[in-house]
Amino acid sequence: MNTPVNYRFSFGPWNISEGGDPFGPEVRPAFPHEEKYALYRPLGFEGVQFHDDDVVPGLDGLTPDSLLKQAVAVKTMLDNQGLTPEFVAPRLWFDPRTVDGGYTSNSAADRAYAWDRTKKAIDIARAIGCKAMVLWLSREGSYIREAKDARKRSMGCWRMIPKLKSGSSRNPMSLPIRPTFQPSATPSPWLMPPAIQSASKA
């Protein structure tokens, strides 16, 4: 007889609508995140998925101490609801400096920003007790072959992952790293190592 499997489920706070009609005006005020967290357990969910700025809005303009203070406040909210943070992902794709890839940008300054933002995401993950980081890489690479030196930029991206696993300057402990792709927005395959190409097609 097979042993029963106990599945646990999670979702991100962005999956609860902010209250705006996508083709019209706001239909209700946005729920504060603390109110959203109170809905998880009654709906059968135990885990919360995060972007870094879901935890700390406006983090680019904060000092390290202010950033961590806000992250700790969110951890308290999660603890109060009995919720587990599943992962934190640095949201690089909304910033003008990283819309054409942060880690694979042609601009050294933009790549430095992407790395600094990622280290902040590691600090946030540690502060809320999260044990994994997701890298959503679908803005990485290029949709125009002539735009970048594919080999140089892609190898720079993959060499960064061991640096990520060592953590940030404030939190040197390692984190599991989970690169992810979306089928509708996968970067050009010639920018991905063979193992990543295989994983993205699975």
Look at residue 159 and give its three-state secondary structure.
helix
- Residue of 52, 53, 54, 110 with catalytic role: 54
Cα separation, 112 vs 117, whole angstroms: 9
CB–CB of 84/47 below 8 Å? yes
CB–CB of 157/140 below 8 Å? yes
Look at residue 70 and give its three-state secondary structure.
helix
DSSP 25: S
- Let me know if 33 is a catalytic residue: no
Region for 83 from its dihedrals, namely left if φ exceeds 0, alpha if ψ lies in -120 to 50, beta otherwise: beta
Helix (H) or strand (E) holding 65: helix 64-81
Distance, C-alpha 51 to centroid of its chain: 4
Cα separation, 133 vs 163, whole angstroms: 13
DSSP 73: H
- Residue of 51, 52, 100, 110 with catalytic role: 51
- Let me know if 54 is a catalytic residue: yes
Residue found by looking up tokens 């390692």 in the block: 174
CB–CB of 51/94 below 8 Å? no
Known catalytic residues are 51, 54
